Amino acid sequence: MTDYLQKERGTDQYTILANRVRNAVERRDAERERDRQLEAIETAQEGISILDEDGHYVYVNRRFADIHGYDPGGMVGEHWTLAYRDADVPKVRGEILPEVERTGYWHGETVSLRSDGTTVPVDHTLALTDRGELVCTVRDVSDQKERERELQATERRYQAILDDPNILVAVIGTGGRLIEANRTALDYIDADEEDVVGDPFWSTPWWSEEARPAVRENVQQAATGEYVEYEADLERPDGTPYSVEGAIRPVTDGTGDVVSLVVSACDVTERKDRERTLQEVNQRFELLAEAVPDGLFLVGADYSELYYCNSAAAALYGVDMAELRDDPSAWMRHVHPDDVGRLEADVERQRNDRVDDIQRQQFRIQHPDRGTRWLEVEIYSVEADGRIERLAGVATDITEQRAQAKPQ
């Protein structure tokens, strides 16, 4: 500091000293500020570069170089066309740069070319400085584009569900008010969306007065995050009955909170009608089967499962119905020892699909209550896909017939 001081007396030398100190401090502060700005630029998430008037890079930060697959030094001095596909250069020259020259600014999306030949979509900004330099900032939007593609795919799937003519779909809020319904669902109540949107879902025309309390309870349960399944028998406005099976699915946000509910249903009227018809046929068959004295049964080809057995069959074989359900081959325990080997051979042939269309067996049963009885059984094979899946049998007690046919 003494170098700044003059030997003579007076205050001028101190004024000079103060000015020099002030200038040095200002230069130091300016350098520090410049260093801070440069550090901020170097650590920025956006890629930043500066091009001279001829379009050559005079500066690129680390992020800009990383996006393009280079080291910063590998881009400085190169022309901006280094970062573009050949097919994109005419658009930059003919549209983007003229806009920058006219307005001093341009913003949009472009595709950057990396050193390995791959590309990356970027959000791109160009700004012209007073000295004619071009400041370029880019931001990699690959993740954003991927999220957009995923969102679009989700929207397409959602729309496909809404457009499905075989599914009734509605979207409701967590409070139960209808937000949206697809055309299929609306056709079932002869309504347009504006007729029902905003109404409590359980009070809409899809539901009868009797069904509404249960629907409301299901909605409230789903709003807590549970997946709720339901069945309902309903009526169209003209009185035509129909049946549905469906579910109420909670939709959650990223934090797991339920934000809406999706209600879906399939019309199962035809299936329910077939089931009712089949049930009626089965009931009539069972009434008929219980009225005949012969034993009727239906078992798996390997006797591992009993599909049907009337009470006469259980009585003829001398076993309980419950015992047969647990073990369809339980009747074999009552077969006369002299007939067991032959019957076991027949059963083995049945298991190996080596039986005729109708197989007749005659054997003795050692009945626990009636002694030795002779049975004749006719077995019919039930095929599926070329293989025997089940065996249907008719068992008849022929003890008396054999006794009468025996020579006196």
In a domain, 277, yes or no: no
Query: Residue 13 — very low, low, confident or very high, per pLDDT cuts 50/70/90?
Result: very low
pLDDT digit string (tens) for 109-154?
Answer: 999 999 999 999 999 999 988 888 899 999 999 888 888 888 777 7
Q: Are residues 333 and 363 in the same domain?
A: yes
Q: Are residues 118 and 175 in the same domain?
A: no
Domain that includes residue 311, residue range: 292-405
Residue 230 in tokens:
């339901």
In a domain, 358, yes or no: yes
15-29, 132-146, 187-201, 337-351: which range is least confident on average? 15-29
The CATH number that applies at residue 360 is 3.30.450.20
Query: Residue 26 — very low, low, confident or very high, per pLDDT cuts 50/70/90?
Result: low
Q: In 3D, which of 361, 348, 362, 358 has the Cα closest to residue 382?
A: 358
Q: Are residues 301 and 393 in the same domain?
A: yes
pLDDT given at position 266: 93
The structural domain count of the chain equals 4
- Residues 6+ away with beta carbon under 8 Å from 363: 335, 336, 339, 342, 343, 374, 375, 377
pLDDT reading at 28 higher than 70:
no
Question: Rounded CA gap, 371 and 367, in Å?
Answer: 5
In a domain, 305, yes or no: yes
Q: Is residue 403 helix, strand or coil?
A: helix
In a domain, 335, yes or no: yes
Mean pLDDT value across the chain: 85
Residues 279-290: what's their mean pLDDT? Answer: 88
pLDDT given at position 2: 42
Residues 322-333: what's their mean pLDDT? Answer: 87
Is the pTM for the entire model greater than 0.95?
no
Q: Are residues 33 and 86 in the same domain?
A: no
Residues 91-107: what's their mean pLDDT? Answer: 93
Query: Residue 374 — very low, low, confident or very high, per pLDDT cuts 50/70/90?
Result: very high
Q: Are residues 311 and 235 in the same domain?
A: no
pLDDT reading at 43 higher than 60:
no
DSSP-H helix ranges across 197-251? 212-223
Question: Rounded CA gap, 166 and 57, in Å?
Answer: 60
Q: Are residues 313 and 267 in the same domain?
A: no
Q: Are residues 64 and 124 in the same domain?
A: yes
pLDDT given at position 359: 82
Q: Are residues 299 and 362 in the same domain?
A: yes
pLDDT given at position 17: 44
157-166, 259-268, 370-379: which range is least confident on average? 157-166
Q: Are residues 94 and 14 in the same domain?
A: no
In a domain, 163, yes or no: no
Contact 249, 261 (CB under 8 A): yes
Query: Residue 14 — very low, low, confident or very high, per pLDDT cuts 50/70/90?
Result: very low
In a domain, 150, yes or no: no
In a domain, 159, yes or no: no
pLDDT digit string (tens) for 390-408?
Answer: 888 999 999 999 888 766 5
In a domain, 65, yes or no: yes
Q: Is residue 53 helix, strand or coil?
A: coil
Q: Are residues 35 and 55 in the same domain?
A: no
Q: Where a domain ends, among 238, 272, 306?
A: 272
Q: Are residues 209 and 231 in the same domain?
A: yes
Secondary element (H or E) of residue 17: helix 12-42
Handedness of CA 365, 370, 374, 378 (dihedral sign): negative
Q: Where a domain ends, among 120, 140, 160?
A: 140
Q: Are residues 108 and 54 in the same domain?
A: yes
